[in-house]
Chains A and B, each alone.
Chain A
């Protein structure tokens, strides 16, 4: 049977309307080191929540049908910006300032739409129907590029071309620098490290597969989408897994899952990536495309994330289903479940500053009932079920000390008695 846990402490915030899974993001938008939550809905409302506030801290309305929200240093000036993409093709960049822009707040408070206290710093019309977005430094020039996946199976890579003047006003535009034509619908795009420690983009494809997007600015021939042969800037990986039941099932991917503790290294190549399918298959893959394990569950997995829930430096795979069942799986295939009490429209896992200063691991659930729940006390000592005898067994000292005490190859019951006495009978000695 699965180990199950229950999380209780949460922040409940009000947010109306339907949310896409890509339109909910945790990040430091105002550059104060504490993370906030940004959510965009299909009615064009973008809200930023900070701390324990139930109401939006910043909001901007009438943007269009927001499909993706992201955070990153888009203008290469050392500061994070919040940006979003709408289905209509509008790309907005916001400068979220810590102090409220006075002129915007002055507007009448009673009218919901006029309560906006956030306005776009920059906007541009790009091709419409973008549904996924990933910021990445693909060409290794130290600047961020944006990969956008479209519902017509195209991924375009954009880069900021321009300057930011003294008043922090950007002058320039997003320029397309690459394009990939994929065979199947794009589930999600993620960033991963290749063997040399270089960043590469992966995009998930139906049936639990993915493609590696090769960025080569020199051969810049846009491939005809109708041609039969695989374009040469794509490496299709069928990722043969007997667990895949349906070859057209939609698939999510997340990369750069850290394997071990320690600071993030510049050219760290030893990372893992995971895929999940809507019919309930979860796969963890090692670089070199070796499948470490796969897991079958009875729930429709739609959102895949990574988060170090145990605090041991290894990032666990966090996966959520439409009905709220959440799986936290470690690299050894040991899993913990959490049943969120409602259907989930969008889910993300990451760090959030509940007290506005310290980032703590969080799960964020957007429901269909105009509420978003941020669970902030979710860290666990370990993923697997274990007991004191097993933990003690891992200590070298234990065996030495037991030998010293003349206890040779003790039975479980002897250890049970010994540890019980150690913990509770110590005073009686």
Chain B
């Protein structure tokens, strides 16, 4: 691959009057005019929006303080979240949880804010006025939102994890403004019987919103993954692992971004990517405070049996936050990790392409697991077969090895986890069980490709097109401020022009051949790998095009 070095530098820095938390920042996406901004809260109850505006035709970063009503001065903000709800119309709702001391008694609240006037839905001053208050009987933790699919329509609901080891669901009632706690088990069967406090939760819908994968990271180190049939509202599969440390962040992601072709472009004759909607390749990033970040690869096929570790990610104090973003514009997402040790680390999966775009003809890996529509956690705990092997690796290895059978994954990249010789068997077994075409899995590893220090502990990493140019900027939230990072735009522009040129050439040549214009893979071996795996590729043209690109790039 052509080595462009991408150096992301500060486009802007905004310093906060007091510290923020890992729940203190949320994106506000305006789906009416496409401008995005960020809402960040400081602990003492001050809120700021950061956005870019055109002032005298110059792009200017602007920060505004937003006065949310009915938040007492002495309260401490826990979490904020912004949801675009669309049950009744397009609207923005902001949820804020906080607590305060009242006569030596701690009281907690969830406030939701939305604009009362039509047409002012994204005017923050207006939104901040429309308050609805709910008193909570528990200490709030992570506030997030997800879609709730009821029949044919969807609505946004707030999810709030609490100190009572429950996930609370807040659903809009009536026409507007009022939110009420709903029975979470009715809609989210996976939230039944949660063993401990959830620090972070992540929900991803796939298969045309018919399925979802729910991941919860718990305070006592438990990671729960549930695959849910949305229409039937039943759990198809669930996995659970125990880490030694609290889990600070979880995210389900795909290695590739899906972006639909702009409608104004000449339509391509290329077949749409024949990605498997039913069983897409989804990976889970798990950050647990003091051990290396873990990626469970292809969870839908493998469960939690294919972990990869991000080497040295535990060398910078507690790992607090993560982000999935393509920082080098090669079409593959990288993993960014933010640590209390003031570092942001970016990891890239280095693996033969064939292992990533593996065919879905792989037999349903492990029959006992795939068929398990009931909670397989029990099996886990009982240490039954190789199901339990990998997931329990961390807890055992990082304490001390209790039973050697569990040291399956051999964690090639992480020196902290030196596998015992006996573990080899398990690795081979894993490869065997995962079927052909994936023998290279063991050679895949994550490598550190970029690292940046900050002046303060990193509390959050967001990807957001805050500049309004189609490129996703990085927004790093540290304890004392907010950094908006951009790569060198001239380099990005070069990539963009190259791709537009390829596109224009293709359009003008009126060539009906399907051309694989993936210029990034100039490395011969990778091209070859690609050709083998992408079925729709015409061999000759795909060989030619990338070579041309190589020349033009160098």
Q: Which residues of A contact B (CB under 8 A)?
A: 1, 3-6, 8-9, 334, 339, 341, 380-382, 384-392, 395, 397-398, 401-402, 404-407, 410, 412-429
Contacts and interface: CB of A to CB of B under 8 A. Distances in A.
Given A3-B61, A391-B492, A425-B259, 11 more contacts: A1-B62, A4-B14, A6-B481, A380-B10, A398-B497, A398-B500, A419-B471, A419-B496, A421-B259, A426-B518, A427-B518
Nearest to B342: A8
B331 A427 contact: yes
Contacts, number: 182
A5 B12 contact: yes
B548 interface: no
Contact of A388 (B10, B455, B469): B469
Interface string B1-42: 000000001111111000000000000000001100000000
30 contacts: A3-B61, A4-B12, A4-B13, A5-B10, A8-B452, A8-B454, A386-B59, A388-B471, A388-B493, A388-B496, A391-B489, A397-B497, A397-B500, A398-B493, A398-B497, A401-B504, A404-B504, A405-B500, A416-B34, A416-B468, A417-B262, A420-B465, A420-B471, A421-B259, A422-B499, A423-B326, A424-B326, A426-B518, A427-B256, A429-B270
A398 to B, nearest CB: 6
A401 B470 contact: no
Interface string B315-342: 0000000000010010100000000001
Q: Which 4 A/B pairs are nearest by Cβ-Cβ distance? A: A425-B259, A419-B470, A420-B470, A387-B469
A393 to B, nearest CB: 9
B488 interface: yes
Contact of A6 (B257, B258, B455): B455
B339 to A, nearest CB: 14
Nearest to A339: B15
A390 B261 CA distance: 22
A9 B13 CA distance: 16
Contact of B497 (A6, A392, A412): A392
B496 A423 contact: yes
A25 to B, nearest CB: 27
Contacts of A6: 10, 13, 454-455, 481, 483
Contacts of A421: 259-262, 265, 470
Contacts of A410: 264
Contacts of A417: 262, 470
Interface string B486-505: 10111011011101110110
B439 interface: no
A397 B261 contact: no
B38 to A, nearest CB: 14
Contact of B468 (A3, A384, A398, A412): A412
B501 A429 contact: no
B11 A389 contact: no
Interface in B416-462: 452-455
A395 B493 contact: yes
Contacts of B58: 334, 384-385
A395 B497 CA distance: 8
Contacts of B486: 381
Contacts of B266: 405-406
B31 to A, nearest CB: 12
Contacts of B472: 420, 424
A3 to B, nearest CB: 5
Given A381-B9, A405-B504, A412-B468, A392 B496 contact: yes
Contacts of A334: 58
Given A1-B62, A6-B483, A424-B257, A414 B262 contact: yes
Contacts of A386: 59, 489
B424 to A, nearest CB: 35
B517 interface: yes
B206 interface: no
B467 interface: yes
Nearest to B54: A412
Interface in B229-267: 256-262, 264-266
B471 to A, nearest CB: 5
A416 B12 contact: no
Nearest to A423: B329
Given A9-B453, A426-B499, A385 B52 contact: yes
A386 to B, nearest CB: 6
B9 A428 contact: no
A386 B488 CA distance: 11
A336 B60 CA distance: 11
B507 interface: yes
A377 to B, nearest CB: 9
Interface in B376-390: none
Nearest to B256: A427
A252 to B, nearest CB: 26
Nearest to A413: B34
B503 A405 contact: yes
Contact of B257 (A4, A402, A425): A425
Interface string B38-50: 0000000000000
B273 interface: yes
Nearest to B496: A422
A339 to B, nearest CB: 7
Contact of B489 (A388, A401, A428): A388
Nearest to A9: B453
Contact of B492 (A384, A402, A423): A423
Given A381-B489, A427-B518, A416 B500 contact: no
A6 B62 CA distance: 17
Contacts of B257: 424-425
Contacts of B452: 8
Given A8-B453, A8-B455, A427-B331, A414 B264 contact: yes
A1 B60 contact: yes
Contacts of B261: 421, 425, 428-429
B502 to A, nearest CB: 9
A394 to B, nearest CB: 8
Q: Identify the interface centre among A395, A398, A419: most chain B CB within 10 Å of its CB.
A: A419
Contacts of A339: 15
B11 A424 contact: no
Contacts of A3: 11-12, 60-61
Nearest to B50: A1
A316 to B, nearest CB: 15
A418 B497 CA distance: 11
B71 to A, nearest CB: 25
Contacts of A405: 265-266, 500, 503-504, 507
Contacts of A420: 259, 465, 470-472
B259 A424 contact: yes
Contacts of A427: 256, 273, 331, 518
A51 B63 CA distance: 39
A205 B12 CA distance: 35
B264 A407 contact: yes
A418 B265 CA distance: 8
Given A6-B455, A405-B265, A405-B507, A416 B465 contact: yes
Nearest to A4: B13
A416 B469 CA distance: 5
A48 B535 CA distance: 65
Contacts of A428: 256, 258-259, 261, 272-273
A159 to B, nearest CB: 45
A411 B257 CA distance: 24
